[in-house]
Amino acid sequence: MKFTFFTVLALICTTTVATAQIGIGTTEPTATLDVNGDVRIRAISEEIITEVAEDSVLVLSRDGRVNRISSKRIIESTLKSTVKANFATGGATISLSILSGRAIIPFDDEEFDTHEEYENTTYIYEAKQDGIYDIYAQIKASSGISVATNFGLSILKNGNVVAENSHANIGVLGVNVTPPTRNVQTLLQLSEGDLITFEIATDLLSVSLLNSDKDCFFTIQQIR
């Protein structure tokens, strides 16, 4: 028995020197140690230094390789998506030119974004996880907004309107008497890679929105 053990050990060492790879249960190893079968460890030492654990969590990848991942990333991967953004541009108002009756709202200041899913230069939210999401948006036009037959706020999923709050700006003796605030909210089922944007829908040629984080903002919260 001892002879057989040392013979196998010698063969392993020879294989290691020649190919730098060892296969157990396979004749074609693809890693330094390639085990095709169950792995059993009879004793594991307990690690008491928490700082070590932050970068020493081992996981099994899809191709069967054992890789290391930080515990922080594991925790973050289970957190639900939450985003809130508003305007960062200077000035009292944000002026938008309307093309073909619509204009994307340039929310360019993120208050928080747990999974870095919102891009504040393209104004697009891209979901990284499948799930159900609660989406809310609100805008407030400046007091000088014109009378119009249509002024509204839309939520778009992959370029298609899925929720909208739109109604006319009514004038009395040439004065707009309709409240300047629009808000819209909906629940959406999103898959990884789905895109969310927010747009103004109106027959006006231009619109000025208040540059105020309490009047103009959006929130996206994954609820499951």
From 74-78, 135-139, 168-172, the region with the lowest mean pLDDT: 168-172
Q: Does the pLDDT of residue 186 top 80, yes or no?
A: yes
What pLDDT does 160 receive?
97
For the ranges 17-31, 137-151, 169-183, 204-218, the maximum mean pLDDT occurs at 204-218
pLDDT tens digit string along 87-113? 997 789 999 999 899 999 999 999 999
The mean pLDDT of 184-213, rounded to a whole number, is 94
> Nearest-CA neighbor of 163 among 133, 141, 140, 143?
133
Contact partners, residue 165, CB within 8 Å, separation at least 6: 152, 153, 182, 183, 184
CA 177 to CA 147: how far, in whole Å?
A: 9
Q: How far apart are the first and last CA of the chain?
A: 58
Q: Does the pLDDT of residue 57 top 80, yes or no?
A: no
CA 149 to CA 164: how far, in whole Å?
A: 15
More confident residue, 118 or 91: 118
pTM exceeds cut of 0.85: no
The mean pLDDT of 195-220, rounded to a whole number, is 93
Alpha helices in 60-154, H assignment, sequence order: 71-78
What pLDDT does 18 receive?
54
What pLDDT does 116 receive?
93
From 41-55, 98-112, 118-132, 148-162, the region with the lowest mean pLDDT: 41-55
pLDDT tens digit string along 65-81? 888 887 777 766 678 99
